[in-house]
Amino acid sequence: MKKLLKYLTKGYMKETVLAPLFKCIEAVFELFVPLVVAQIIDVGIKNGDKGYVLCMCLVLVGLGLAGLAFSITAQFFAAKAATGFSKTVGNALFRHIQTFSYTDLDELGTSTLMTRMTSDLNQVQTGVNMTLRLLLRSPFIVFGAMIMAFTIDLNAALVFAAAIPVLSIVVFGIMLAGMPLFGKVRACLDKLLGRTRENLSGARVVRAFCIEDKETAKFRDENDKLTAAQLTAGRISALMNPLTFALINLALIVLIYTGAVRVDEGILTQGQVVALYNYMSQILVELIKLASLIITITKAAACGKRIQSVLDSGEGMTGGAESEGFTGYKYSVEFRNVSLRYKNAGENSLTGISFTAKKGSVIGIIGGTGSGKTSLVNMIPRFYDPTDGDIYINGINAKDYKLDALRGKIGVVPQKAVLFKGTIRENMRWRDENASDEEIMRALDTAQAKDIIEMREKGLSCTVEQNGTNFSGGQRQRLTIARALVGSPEILILDDSASALDFATDAALRKALRTLKNTTVFIVSQRTSSIMHADKIIVLDDGEVVGVGTHAELLGNCPVYKEIYDSQFRKEGGETA
Amino acid sequence: MKTGKGILRKILRYIKRYIALMLLSVILATLTVAGTLYIPIIIGKAIDLIVSAGNVDFPAIFILLLHTGVVAGITALLQWLMGAINNRVTFDVVRDIRNDAFRKIEELPLSYLDTKSTGDIVSRVISDADQFADGLLLGFSQLFTGIVTILGTLVFMLMLDPWITLAVVVLTPVSLLVARFISRRTYSMFKLRSETLGEQTALIDEMIGNEKTVKAFCREDESIEKFEEINERLEKCSLRATFFSSLTNPGTRFVNSMVYAAVGLFGALAVIDRGASGGITVGELSCFLSYANQYTKPFNEISGVVTELQNAFACAARLFELIEEPSEVPEPEDAVELTDAKGSIKAENVYFSYVPDKKLIEDFNIDIKPGQKTAIVGPTGCGKTTFINLLMRFYDVTDGTVSADGHDIRKITRKSLRSSYGMVLQETRLISGTIRDNIIMGKPDATDDEIKAAAKASHAHSFIKRLPQGYDTVIGEDGGNLSQGQKQLLCITRIMLCQPPMLILDEATSSIDTRTELKIQDAFSKLMKGRTSFIVAHRLSTIRDADVILVMNQGSIIEQGTHDELLAKNGFYAKLYNSQFDTSAET
């Protein structure tokens, strides 16, 4: 939290100081009001001086005006500091997230990051704003009122000195006692939410097994628990108003009585008693404001802590200085005894992987779900670093490359075909800012995506909605393949990227990819037909390489490969193959 | 506003059950306000008795102060009671509405659930209900007391002095005008702000949501640039909106202090002119001043409460919208119970479509004998699930009939029809509870031995055994740490346990590794022996021995027959089957 506040004090020091300061000055004007009223009673009324009364009432108006001016200034500074702070933190947070490695992203989860950036940040902004406006002002009025009471009369002021701590204990005690109870309410609500979601997303199962009544009974039970928790929490907070009301009136009784004695003794005047009475009322209002402010601040502080934890986490990934590697080196990619264990995972996802990929060759990677295919190709652009062993690109360790130089060599087509808001042209230029239309069209042609553009009126300038929702799954997949091809990458990785394509398009795509003589292509697939013509096929099973070779070799010497092949092809085997 | 009234009526229907408590709450509110307003009068009287040195009527003051104490005590007690009652009514009403909403979820036709987003319905049942509760509570506790306070203060003030009252009444609404003026002016600023905020959220959603892709293409700097540009604009419009809207408070407070000054002026003059034509005492002046504060407060509060209530009504409207959705078509009175189904399934002239003008299944006929194995094949998204939807009566046919054991399934109770099927879907769904709870879903009274036998048959026993609490291990809705394959094994165990007369396997083994799959296939074929079964499969090799193969494409059944028949036909199935081997395009 402290570190977050740095953004406030560094960029918005002036506003952060001035906002509460002006608020306090405004409070001073408010504190003068009862004194003026006392003067009206003791001087104006006593002497029947209407001019004086009018004069004093004008003073009241003046105090109001001055208060207005100061508080408007304060509001401005507070708003400025709060919005500026949230902008600075937002930028810092976004920049920081951009430095995250894949491991960091896995650990924090994108949905968490998104709530941090949106609702948490918003809460913090409100919190800062309210804090600057009220956190000093309310105690200032409470103690100011007490001090004013002391200036009027010591004995009467002692009533204040006694009432304020008791009232504070009650107000803050109730709040503190309520907070864990509200936490319990939230927990009950979360449970209810889980039950509701489960019954919606699992509606078919619930109905297939006819457990609607049972589920309803469970929901009712949890709902009753929620209501009970709400009632308990409500009962505590419902104490606030009656208790403070009773206390303040008790204090008033004592105050009036003390006042009566002091007036009788000739020490106080009637107007001063009225002034003391007014101060007492002001205190209650401010204490309740303060209590609700503290709830806002606690919430904001919790959000701030969550934001801070994001800023503190993430190890990022650093690169070396290399940018090219040995030109003309025989192998484009080399794995030397590579193992990978994801952070916090109990077991290796990949163990002892070694293979070489010749420049310009096509490498097929096949294996069952969870066998480590994606993990393997994700290590080539250093999305994850091996926990053991090394990967060489053009004969140089991948870790010695500058990150953007390394990734610049590689065109990746991820499993999830994502397009970004903008035009097709903008999307196609992700790898190469300056790619010409001609170049883009060539890539689209190779990716079998030319027809998508030709169908649209605006061609390359055709707009893409967020997540590419205005394109079908198959179209998106072909477009993401084209995106990776623009700028002629040295290495192309297709991670199960043809799953939404029909067999004919898939085959045409593979044929076109073969014409890229200078690109080493990695094809990850579960379909034997997608990889059977690769120069080299790597068969993975449970994180280990169980076979390397061509289709014909593997059929002869790799039982896992044969098993996969047989499950997809007729046993009597490949009349057309 | 007409709809607003309708919603109010619906809310009142729920409140009606608690009408006695509500009435009590209203009475308590009135009494509380009366007490609150009465105290300044007594104190004012006491102040009048404190005139100057040696001129203080102690015995009378004593009685007045005692009065104050008693009134304050009673008022506090009533206030507390009122709070408790308001809490009770609010939370009970919301509980009732929530229960109804959940019950409705269990009764809604699948067509509704399939087309509405889960998040939207969940947010209705959870957060809308929650906000409604907040609004309702605030409405109960502040709206009514607020109005009574305003009225009560007016009456008390009028009793004291009509002229000063007039000053207060004329001036106070100015603060409302100020508030309205500001909120109207800031409306467009807030609109711009929420638009910009929406733009920013969309960008965050897009960039952070796809951060891995962003990183794969080294587009970090570009996305930072975009973000900061929007953030810059957001700061500007946030500042404007925040600042101008935060003028409301100083503005209304300024008006209030003007009211205060006016009361001070007219009050003091009235005290000075006392005697001739009424006038007031000093104590009454202090009472007036305290009223001036109290009178303006509810005005400021009420405008807040009204917005809150409007919001609560909007939330209630969304809840009622859900509750009033039509349920599944009710079962006819004379619906048959399907017991020990033999498993003959017949579809005659069936027409079906999800959307009226988008034809899907047309004139579909099939006659499945008891014990036959039916396979459904076709490319992804061809509508294989549609067929299952019709079998289980998750959807009703548009025309024609589907019958089971000779009964139109619309004349069979849903419960008995559905429990005649055992269903394993590709998408595994577990419920939060123990492993055992998840297994016994279809047969709640199963013995431990039966459960174990079923788990062994599905090869789930060995992993369940290794879980910390075995069969009593609690898993969450998403299955906790279980792998996709393990979850699927659990779903299969459910079926193994209840041994239903008919089976539906929709890619039931897609997440299970090939070796275990072979074993499970084995268990399945044992289970399927003599049972009518429907199998959806990707891998054509697994369904070659089916009695009937239905070939689906783009939602309709285009071919049906046995494997050999279909191959001989050399149609879509043959093409699909051969395309697995077709590599001519490449070589």
How many angstroms separate the CA of residue B263 from the nearest CA in chain A?
Answer: 9
CB contact under 8 A, A467 and B232: no
CB contact under 8 A, A44 and B272: yes
> Looking at residue B11, what DSSP letter applies?
H
Size of interface A-B (CB pairs under 8 A): 424
Confirm if A419 and A340 have CB atoms less than 8 A apart.
Answer: no
The pTM is what? 0.73
CB contact under 8 A, B583 and A102: no
Confirm if B179 and A393 have CB atoms less than 8 A apart.
Answer: no
Pairwise CA distance, residues B104 & B325, whole Å: 8
CB contact under 8 A, B204 and A118: yes
Contacts of B261 in chain A (CB under 8 A): 57-58, 60-61, 64
**Torsion angles phi and psi, residue B571, rounded to 5:** -105, -140
CB contact under 8 A, B69 and A430: no
Distance, C-alpha A424 to centroid of its chain: 29
B146-163 tens-digit pLDDT: 888 888 888 888 888 888
What CATH fold (topology level) applies to the domain A1-153+304-315? ABC transporter transmembrane region fold (1.20.1560)
Pairwise CA distance, residues A492 & A415, whole Å: 14
Task: Name residues 339-358 of chain B within 8 A of A (Cβ).
Answer: none
Confirm if A391 and A402 have CB atoms less than 8 A apart.
Answer: no
Confirm if B325 and B104 have CB atoms less than 8 A apart.
Answer: yes
**Closest to B480 in 3D by CA, of B522, B433, B533:** B433
Contacts of B49 in chain A (CB under 8 A): 260
Pairwise CA distance, residues B353 & B351, whole Å: 7
Pairwise CA distance, residues B450 & B498, whole Å: 9
Task: Name residues 65-94 of chain B within 8 A of A (Cβ).
Answer: 65, 68-69, 72-73, 75-77, 79-80, 83-84, 86-88, 91-92, 94
Contacts of A418 in chain B (CB under 8 A): 210, 213
Strand partners, A355: A335
pLDDT of residue B477: 62
How many angstroms separate the CA of residue B1 from the nearest CA in chain A?
Answer: 31
> Looking at residue A330, what DSSP letter applies?
S
Half-sphere exposure of A363 (CA within 13 A, CB side): 28
> Looking at residue B143, what DSSP letter applies?
I
> Looking at residue A472, what DSSP letter applies?
-
Contacts of B501 in chain A (CB under 8 A): none
How many angstroms separate the CA of residue A328 from the nearest CA in chain B?
Answer: 25
Q: Which of A98, A212, A235 to mutate to test the interface with B (most CBs of B within 10 A)?
A: A98
CATH class of A331-568: alpha beta
Locate A131 and state its tokens: 């804090």
**Torsion angles phi and psi, residue B305, rounded to 5:** -65, -40
Kind of pairing, strands B502-506 and B532-536? parallel
pLDDT of residue B4: 65
Confirm if A233 and A178 have CB atoms less than 8 A apart.
Answer: yes
CB contact under 8 A, A208 and B215: no
How would you write B53-97 as a 3-class SS string? CCEECHHHHHHHHHHHHHHHHHHHHHHHHHHHHHHHHHHHHHHHH
Nearest to A260 among B50, B73, B429 (CB): B50
Residue B58: closest C-alpha in chain A: A260
How many angstroms separate the CA of residue A151 from the nearest CA in chain B?
Answer: 19
Task: Name residues 428-447 of chain B within 8 A of A (Cβ).
Answer: 429-432, 441-442, 444
Q: Does B380 touch chain A (CB under 8 A)?
A: yes
pLDDT of residue A369: 64
Residues in Cβ contact with A217 at an 8 Å cutoff, skipping those fewer than 6 apart: none
Contacts of A64 in chain B (CB under 8 A): 254, 257-258, 260-261
**Closest to A338 in 3D by CA, of A382, A401, A404, A400:** A382
Pairwise CA distance, residues A269 & A277, whole Å: 13
Nearest to A511 among B105, B137, B586 (CB): B586
Confirm if B497 and B415 have CB atoms less than 8 A apart.
Answer: no
Strand partners, A495: A524
How many angstroms separate the CA of residue B2 from the nearest CA in chain A?
Answer: 31
Q: Does B282 touch chain A (CB under 8 A)?
A: yes
Helices (H), B246-383: 248-272, 282-323
CB contact under 8 A, A204 and B425: yes
Q: Does B123 touch chain A (CB under 8 A)?
A: no
Contacts of A203 in chain B (CB under 8 A): 105, 110, 113
Contacts of B76 in chain A (CB under 8 A): 242-243, 245-246, 249
CB contact under 8 A, A212 and B541: no
**Which ranges of chain A have pLDDT less than 50?**
571-577
Residue B465, Cβ density class (10 Å: 0-12 exposed, 13-18 middle, ≥19 buried): exposed
Q: Does B52 touch chain A (CB under 8 A)?
A: yes
Pairwise CA distance, residues B374 & B203, whole Å: 48
Residue B270: closest C-alpha in chain A: A45
Confirm if A483 and A430 have CB atoms less than 8 A apart.
Answer: yes
CB contact under 8 A, B242 and A79: yes
Pairwise CA distance, residues A479 & A450, whole Å: 9
Detail the DSSP E strand segments found in B418-566: 421-424, 433-434, 474-475, 502-506, 532-536, 548-553, 556-561
CB contact under 8 A, B95 and A227: yes
Residues in Cβ contact with B548 at an 8 Å cutoff, skipping those fewer than 6 apart: B366, B368, B372, B373, B374, B375, B560, B561, B562
Q: Would you write out chain B's pLDDT as a tens digit for each of its 587 residues?
A: 445 678 888 888 898 889 999 899 989 999 998 998 888 889 888 988 888 888 888 899 999 999 999 999 999 999 999 989 999 999 999 999 999 999 999 989 888 888 777 778 888 888 888 888 888 888 877 888 888 888 888 888 888 888 888 888 888 778 778 878 887 888 888 888 888 988 888 888 888 888 888 888 888 888 999 999 999 999 999 999 989 888 888 888 888 888 889 888 888 888 888 765 567 888 888 888 888 877 777 776 776 777 778 888 888 888 999 999 988 888 888 888 888 888 889 988 888 888 777 777 888 888 888 889 898 887 655 667 788 888 888 888 988 999 998 899 999 998 889 888 888 877 777 877 888 988 988 888 889 999 999 998 888 888 888 777 888 888 876 666 677 777 888 888 888 888 888 988 887 766 666 656 776 777 777 778 888 999 887 666 677 788 889 888 776 778 888 888 988 888 888 877 776 554 443 33
Nearest to A117 among B204, B218, B258 (CB): B204
Spans of all domains in chain A: 1-153+304-315, 154-267, 331-568
Residues in Cβ contact with A116 at an 8 Å cutoff, skipping those fewer than 6 apart: A93, A306, A307, A310
Angle formed at CA B111 by CA B107 and CA B112, multiple of 5 degrees: 65
Confirm if A291 and A171 have CB atoms less than 8 A apart.
Answer: yes
CB contact under 8 A, B415 and A133: no
**Torsion angles phi and psi, residue B398, rounded to 5:** -80, -35
Contacts of A72 in chain B (CB under 8 A): 247, 250
Grouping H, G, I as helix, E, B as strand and the rest as coil, residue B186 is helix
